[in-house]
Amino acid sequence: MEKSVSAFVPNFLLGMAGGIQYLKLKSVSKNPRKASEKTLRGILEYAKDTVYGKEHHFEEILKAKDDKELYSLYQKYVPAQEYESLRPYVERHKNGEADVLFPGKPIMYATTSGTTKEPKWVPITQKYMNSVYGKMTKVWLFNFIKNRPNVFTGKIVSIVGKVIEGYAPDGTVFGSVSGVTQRDCPKFVKKLYASPADIFSIADYNARYYAIMRMGIERNVTLIVTANPSTIVEMQNNVNEYYDQYVEDIEKGTISEKLNISPEIRAALMPYFKPNPERAAELRALKEKYGRVLPKHYWPNLQILNTWKCGNTRVYLDKFKDSFPEQMLHQEFGYFSSECRFGLVLDDTNNTVLFPHFHYYEFVEEHEIESENPHFLQLHELEEGKRYCPFVTTYAGLYRYNMNDLVEVGPKFENTPTVHMIQKVNGIVTMTGEKLHERQFIEAVRTAEKELKMPIRFFVGFADLDISAYHFYYEFENLDTTQQEAELFTKKVDEVLQQVNIEYKAKRESFRVKNPVTHRLQKDSFETFKAQCIAEGARDGQFKMNLLLQDEKRHAKFKKLVIE
């Protein structure tokens, strides 16, 4: 294995750049009430002359004498909202119009699944990029050093999206913010990556994982960054299948010709390959000694693994338990989405430290989420141990934006509450980032009904984290429908879901979400289920039934209603 290098340069430079921003974060976190008011005023002042700012009376709101009046006026003139109410403004930006949601135009868009057929186009402004994805990324990297001083003595394996995936009508790019963050990181950090950015443009998922691991396993890796722990599972599956081929490629300085990699990307990768018989011999010896070779064998000096650990992702952690070196820190990635980088985890807990100087946060208590007139709480009003749905206002055109997440409050950082993710709310289910919406599932079933002429009396879907797949249950009008016919119905549902949800499609293509499982329900299945729930204490008048869930108790009831 290649030797470790001195961490002096990255530690010194990140200690300077990240340390300064860390001290600023600590300072503003001492008074979250003051920081919240200052940030909201800053955002409103920044956007007061835009189309949205004028329509929603930002200048009037700014006349507020104190923070309470400011928040009251903001709630009066700006409704809490989902993405769809912002979409018309985003569309104007996409078609070249400036000064709509914010001054000027976005520098890029991050795309993510919406609740309709159209994905969300989340605008990113230069101001937001410079602050949250610039200054706070330096804190993130500095934080790695604080936790493991040797984290930059080796290489980094980082799994990110393509920087450019396409273009808006006016020519503005859309792509991966994580890819841009990696592209724009300090040069001395960029040199530490085990593979070049070209690798993330490999279209074939199997070939992409192969290339990432073929390049990573050759090197002394000390840091792995990938939000989704399911990716770690797929990486190791690739190792299990292709280990001998890696060794051969490393020995010869090649990458297998059997892989589906375009000539252009092959040409870009070739300068990184040189014959390395010494490392090949080490890898062969590892297999002879251990049989199944794990990360703790081929990356014994690994310092930090940075992935999500909260919410639904926890199920994947068991799949690679005991696979990594004992001294390694598995650090929570933090509460993070395409819409905004909410904050950072700075220690070995799961608690995300928020950025009150860059975001204005509001929260609704869990029991009020379904209320028509919920009470909005300020950051300093949160109570440890309670659960809330967060709303965020940013310098990138999101105003009182519903994150549709349930978070729990943890201990304070200075005087500012921390949070960690519990689950998605309001009809969105996600096992590995696909964010499948109940409306999309209903639309897919109705489309299949119409196209296949197979009427449905009742249907329901459940996420199964253990197998990373959805179970689809149908009560067909024709109870003589065969299992084979039902599976064809599911195939059509799956096709439609991939058409209307880009993230579901990506997870299906990368095998992180497996083929859905088909079940036929007995006659009057919903009525039977409801009767059971009422018998167990549910109130008839308040009985609610979502059609897409992650709920093992309810799932268990439907398993008993299946036609064998």
* Residue 517: C-alpha distances to residues 95, 314, 508 (Å): 41, 22, 13
What angle, rounded to 10 degrees, do the helices at 67-77 and 32-47 form?
50
DSSP collapsed to 3 states, 260-276: CCCHHHHHHHHHHCCCC
Structure token pair of residue 383: 């109570």
Tell me, what's the pLDDT at 424? 79
132 and 358 in contact (C-beta within 8 Å)?
A: yes
Tell me, what's the pLDDT at 438? 87
Q: Splitting the chain (564 residues) into consecutive groups of 10 residues, what average pLDDT does each group show? A: 80 90 97 98 98 98 98 98 96 98 97 73 96 92 95 94 89 88 81 92 89 97 92 90 97 96 95 97 98 97 95 77 96 92 95 98 92 95 97 98 94 98 82 89 95 95 94 96 98 97 93 96 89 67 72 92 93
What single-letter DSSP state applies at residue 131? I
Query: Of 170, 173, 260, 251, which Cα lies nearest the Cα of 210?
Result: 260
How far apart (Å, rounded) are the C-alpha atoms in residues 400 and 393?
Answer: 5
Structure token pair of residue 232: 């770690």
Domains of the chain with CATH codes: 8-126+352-424 (no CATH), 130-332 (no CATH), 428-559 (3.30.300)
Query: Of 426, 436, 423, 425, which Cα lies nearest the Cα of 508?
Result: 436
458 pairs with which residues across the strands?
475
Tell me, what's the pLDDT at 475? 95
Tell me, what's the pLDDT at 314? 72
What Rg value do the Cα atoms of the chain yield, rounded? 25
What single-letter DSSP state applies at residue 513? S
pTM for the model: 0.83
What angle, rounded to 10 degrees, do the helices at 525-535 and 552-559 form?
130
